[in-house]
Chains A and B, each alone.
Chain A
Amino acid sequence: MRSASRSLRRILIAATVGILALPGPLAAQQPAAPAQPPAPSWAQGRPDSPAAVNLAPQVAPPLATPLDKLPVAMLKVPRNFHVEVYASGMPQARSLRIDDKGTLFVSTRTLDRIYAVVDKDGKHQVKTLLTGLRWPNGIALHNGTLYIAELNKISKIDNIEAQLDNPPKPTVIYDDLPSDEPHGWKFLAVGPDNKLYFNIGAPCNICMPPAANAQLRRINLDGSGMEVVAHGIRQVVGMDFHPVSKVLYFTENQRDWLSEDVPEDKLDRLLHVGQDNFGFPYCGGGNVPDPQFGWGHSCSEFTPPVVRLGPHSAPLGMRFYVGHMFPSEYHNAIFIARHGSWNRTTKFGGDVVVAKLNPDGTVKSVEPFMTGFLQDNKYVARPVDVELMKDGSMLVSDDWNGAVYRVSYGQQRVSLNH
């Protein structure tokens, strides 16, 4: 009886939700409703259906998975490629950068730290290099300097390799940045023009962004000379420059709660620096007019993506393959880590794909490269970033387990439990 009446109440609640979702007189008649606040940014446009009830942002667990429990055996790569654990024990392992000496720097998204993995006689020692940072997702290396993009500032430590045991506090070079937490985490890269490139995400799921948001910027290495290089961008957590044309390519994550299947996340390229607008919030995925903001606009007004990468797939880190270990078909192709969806009943993504390009820089194909992160609609691992080692092998970070894997080609597989 109690259960029956509870079911009835749920039905009534669902009905009430339906009524509240209607504009106009019906909603206004709800005597209890205070002046309706806008829905919170991440929930704007979200359906009020019970089917959506089990969807909630999934966070990386704060404790790293022990080495012997890492799901490395489940991770599949093409024939003659091999996967091994490179380093583990780094909760929320996110962005990867490796320096000339082989030291790997690993960022975190909402923790306060950056790790360093030092290669000592083939053993990879993990240490927490810096703490006390505010969401330091973006890291970049240039001429021995480590650059760090926190939530609302960019800083640097010169000559980091010589100071791994006792690094100084980073020196701030740029802080003219909003402090919004939504999409406040950054990706940082040094361009062929020796400038630092980074994103300022939209502070919401879907909204008309403030003038300082939803864009890519670049600054000189000392923080001066800021320019906005691209507009209409919801959120970017991965970018790299074409090794030949030097054109900036970047992954872009699209809005949630519009539907299971659209808009698709994208791979974009910036051909007209300072001019290109990629459509946010008017057009999603390059082909879906936004139901709220798209009126009076056409997707054809905006720069189209070079390829769509699937709904809610969350493409994050990406690198052009310029190494010499992998077969020639991978030369100058782009490896892209798709973190995987949360805003979808059947999860999508959770893999590393390879985008092969035509000579004109357009995309010829997108193929799965590293899979198995998603098992039975649950994540056993989630790829975040990719980075090339000097020998041409590729590292892949996994924030779900706090680990970094190494993918190599044609070599004897290294045993994990020696």
Chain B
Amino acid sequence: MSRAGTACATLVALVAGTLPVFAAVQPKLEPCLACHGAQGQSETANVPSLGAQNPAYVLIQLFMFREGLRIAEPMNDMAKGLSDDDLRSISGDIAALPPPKPPADDGDPSRLDRARALVEQNHCNICHRLDFSGQENVPRVADQREDYLLKALREYKSGARHGYDATMAEALQPVGDAQIVELAYYLAHLAAAR
């Protein structure tokens, strides 16, 4: 298990059922929130914020973790015992969390301008929509953590992360690593950029 995973497991033990904020939360969601953030916003390095994420996308990812189609510890272990109904209800509950907050940092305007051109050239804003809220199986990436975006894009590019379809592997085919860095920066500073 990664360091983040170990830290999260400890957190799960500490917070499960003990904080008022979890009182209304389904027990099955509690372990998720320990790492991914109670208010939809992750405070954990390389762990994505899940608030307002599209339920169809969340369900696909949980399914892939459970079935071993996508490998990313500790998620494969976390998803192992979940039933199909668990996947459905967790996806719905996650979608109901508030969206992650826009970053306080407005970002470097000239860097954001350059990145916007890249976003448009690569048509990121078609499937993910102009406001990057995504749709159905296409994830919300607005105000996502920059470190996670960087990791996800690099893994799609290298093939380390299998998508549920070929779409992201194809999308990143013509995109180099330096451009991936800029895309992650842009999406993480979207409130300023859009």
**Chain A contacts to B: CB under 8 angstroms:** 6, 9-10, 13, 16-17, 20, 30, 32-34, 36-43, 46, 48, 50, 52-59, 61-63, 110-112, 181-182, 184, 204
**Which one of A10, A37, A204 contacts B122 once the chains associate, using CB atoms below 8 Å?**
A37
Answer yes or no: B56 CB below 8 A from chain A CBs: yes
- Contact status of A43 and B123, CB under 8 A, knowing A33-B117, A38-B174, A63-B88: yes
A56 close to B126 (CB less than 8 A): yes
Say yes or no: A53-B118 contact (C-beta < 8 A), given A58-B137, A182-B170: no
Which of A33, A39, A181 is most buried by chain B, counting CB atoms within 10 A of its CB?
A181
- Give the number of residue pairs across the A-B interface with Cβ within 8 Å: 113
Main secondary structure on chain A at its contact with chain B? loop
Given the interface pairs A13-B116, A62-B60, the reply to whether A43 lies near B126 with Cβ below 8 Å is yes
- Is A62 a contact of B166 with CB atoms below 8 Å? no
Q: Which residues of B contact A40 (CB under 8 A)?
A: 122-123, 170-175
A46 and B126 contact, CB distance less than 8 A: yes
Query: What residues on B are CB-neighbors of A6 within 8 Å?
Result: 194
State the B residues within 8 Å of A (CB). 56, 59-60, 63-64, 67, 69, 84, 87-88, 110, 113-114, 116-118, 120-123, 125-127, 129-130, 135-138, 164-167, 169-176, 179, 194
Assembly CA distance A186 to B145 (angstroms): 37
Q: A36 touching B130 by the CB < 8 A rule?
A: no
Q: Are A59 and B171 in contact (CB under 8 A)?
A: no
In the complex formed, the residue of A with least CB distance to B87 is A63
Assembly CA distance A13 to B176 (angstroms): 23
Chain A residue, CB-CB nearest to B194: A9
Closest to A66 in B: B84
Pairwise interchain contact A37-B194, C-beta atoms closer than 8 A: no
**Across-interface contacts of A16 in B (CB, < 8 A):** 116-117, 120
Separation of A22 and B41 alpha carbons in the complex (Å) = 40
**Known pairs A50-B130, A54-B129, A57-B167. 20 more at Cβ < 8 A?**
A13-B130, A13-B194, A30-B117, A32-B113, A32-B116, A33-B114, A33-B118, A34-B179, A39-B174, A40-B170, A52-B126, A53-B126, A56-B135, A59-B137, A63-B84, A63-B87, A111-B69, A182-B170, A184-B166, A204-B170
